[in-house]
Amino acid sequence: MRILVADDDLVSRLAMEDVLRQCGTPEIVVAEDGASAWGAMSGPACFDLLCLDVRMPPPDGLELVARLRAAPALRRVPAMLITSTADRDTVLGATRSDLQGFLVKPVGPDTVVRILRTLAQLDASILEPADAAIARLRIDAPRHARYVGAFSAQVQALAGLAQELASPASGSQVKAAFVQKADACRTAALTLGSSRVEQLISDALALLAAGQPGAERAMGQAVYWLARVSRQPARLA
């Protein structure tokens, strides 16, 4: 799991790092200001969660979220605000920006509980918990495991096609293959309760239809998230 912490206050950053380690986070990326945070967010790395300070050298947390939600290839990345006071404007900003909530300084044991709850909800939207999917689909555990493995392979193959589409040399055949495989992959995502992956596939299709770049980024995020929660190796076909 990879989480970005953006805060201009060193003590606050260290405290957040300690809290996240209690949540079992193996990799924490830190940023001292909004510009560094945006560079990390828009770079090649994929993130499971962004923790952004409301007040820091520009762009501040709310502006970063606005940029994120306006970027079709990045807008699905979950984010939480870090704030000294949960005032009305902050709460409204969190609600309007499709955030996963906000963390009030100073962070403590209750922060760990909130983050763990948020991560569990996010993971369930990447892939429905096995017990729930098995009961809903009326299948056994080995069959569910095969379904998940096949779905992961589909997503990885689709991501590979998205990378080909990013090349100027790609032609109409690659585009047609991507659209065809994307439709099948969306059906598989809905079958397995993978709403966030289905959304990312839809985003990639919309970018492709509009002639805009970013499909490979959306699909790369899908591969990253799905590989983590399904315990499947992340390889691009």
pLDDT (0 to 100) of residue 237: 40
pLDDT (0 to 100) of residue 181: 96
pLDDT digits (tens, 9 = 90+) for 52-74: 999 899 999 989 999 999 999 99
CA atoms of 101 and 113, how far apart (whole Å): 13
Mean pLDDT score across all residues of the chain: 92
CA atoms of 130 and 175, how far apart (whole Å): 33
Whole-model pTM? 0.92
More confident residue, 146 or 88: 146
- Let me know: does 25 contact 49? Beta carbons within 8 Å: no
Q: Is the dihedral of CA 65, 68, 74, 75 positive or negative?
A: positive
Q: Are strands 79-83 and 102-104 parallel, antiparallel or unpaired?
A: parallel
Question: DSSP string of 114-172?
Answer: HHHHHHHHHHHHHS--HHHHHHHHT--HHHHHHHHHHHHHHHHHHHHHHHHHTSTT--H
Q: How many CB atoms lie within 10 A of CB 123?
A: 17
**What confidence tier does 94 reach under pLDDT thresholds 50, 70, 90?**
low
Reported as half-sphere exposure (CB side, CA atoms, 13 A), residue 6 has a value of 31
CA atoms of 16 and 199, how far apart (whole Å): 30
71: closest CA among 206, 224, 214, 216? 214
CATH dotted code for 2-126: 3.40.50.2300
- Let me know: does 7 contact 16? Beta carbons within 8 Å: yes
Any idea where the domains of the chain sit in the sequence?
Answer: 2-126, 130-230
